[in-house]
Structure 1
Amino acid sequence: MKGMKILILLISSVVLVTSCEKSDDHYYDYQKTNITYDGTVYDYLIHQPGVYDSLVLMLERLPALKSKLNDPQNEVTFFAVNNRSFELAIANLNSTRMSAGLSPLYIEDFNLNVLDTLAYRYVFDQNIDIHGIRNYKDGQTFASSKYDYTMHTQYRVLTSSGIVGGGEQQIVFSDVNESIYKRYWQSTNTKSVDLQVTNGIFHTLSSQHDFGFGKLNKYFSTN
């Protein structure tokens, strides 16, 4: 009986060590697969056809931001919004406008001052990466470029194959809406993180993200 107990303990120890090794491997694999792109943020956007076309169209209307993202001398972190995110935001906006008897609006129609304000909430004049934020349990706040608007980033790891913390690493990216209370925040997740480009770091947001964190309705639903 005593021998059986020792055997069970040994098996449990092996399982525990194996689980820890799998979890550790996740971080080692992440380090090894961290990729780079030989070009600027803007270079990367225009070489992903069918993914960031709406974003590129927006940048054509905002030449100062386009220049910033295309300058290899800059150091920025950019949270990229894909086509689907723009589609969701514009569809939600135009549904509201239709209910109010107003004609639809699209990227080329938006007021430039408002568009500029919203666009810069995805841009930061410093490096923000997984390794820099994952040791902060409650996340970190950062001031966005140009307008110093407060945004929040928090690290999380998804569960994979039953291993807690063994899956995909993500950044929860939030518009805090100038509030310290999380119930007023609007958040989204990254789809991919830490692409190293020549002028900083590139993260891709989830396709479920609504560009502007729902603010298009605030600014454009009545006029």
Structure 2
Amino acid sequence: MILLFLTPPTPRQRKKSEKAEASLDEDTNPKLRRPARNWIKGVVRNKWGGIIRTCGIDGCDYKIGNPNHMKSHKAAKHGVDVRWYTCDQPGCTYRAKQASNLKGHKATKHGINVVFFKCTVPGCTYQAKEAGTLKRHKADKHGINVTLFYCTMEGCDFQAKRALVVKQHMSNIHDIDVVWHYCNLDGCGFRAKESRSLGRHQRTLHKKHFLNPNTTAPVKEK
């Protein structure tokens, strides 16, 4: 004769059993099935009463459910109800619309609460105060996570690791979105696509008219 001793189920086991029974009921009775949840709409509905807030500024189609995010958007993009965060360091007039920007400024410019981002490549001792700077270093020096930017002109295979370099290339080579720098000396019609070219022109041809060879401001005649 074999005796079986059955122990009562634990609370956790009872909970799992109840869930299994409920799931079985939903499968056999379509009326008990719960509708599929739209997670984005569900979050908005549950936390902020189903309200989707729109910016309301002419030409801006930004919308979101979180009222704090909307407030931050209006302050940062449109200057509405801006709360300025000012640097408290002596002689510094920097201010920002977001506390995180001020924190980054104080770390970068004043060395306050600096968190260094270090290169993880063996043998490299490079470190930076900003994650973006470290990312550029690893791409430029070590070829890690490189994003190449290409010239969009047909037949041109120019490429670079930075969008700004491609923009300069397209301006200098293909005359796209050119910003001209003009010589401000009376009677001179020189212009250049780069400010350094204008400075070189002025230092070479108009040296006596400029007080500082590194500036483009002409000397006032006495």
TM-score (norm 2): 0.21
- Rg (Cα) greater in structure: 2
TM-score (norm 1): 0.21
Q: Which has the higher strand share?
A: 1
- Name the structure, 1 or 2, with higher relative contact order (CA <8 Å, separation 6+): 1
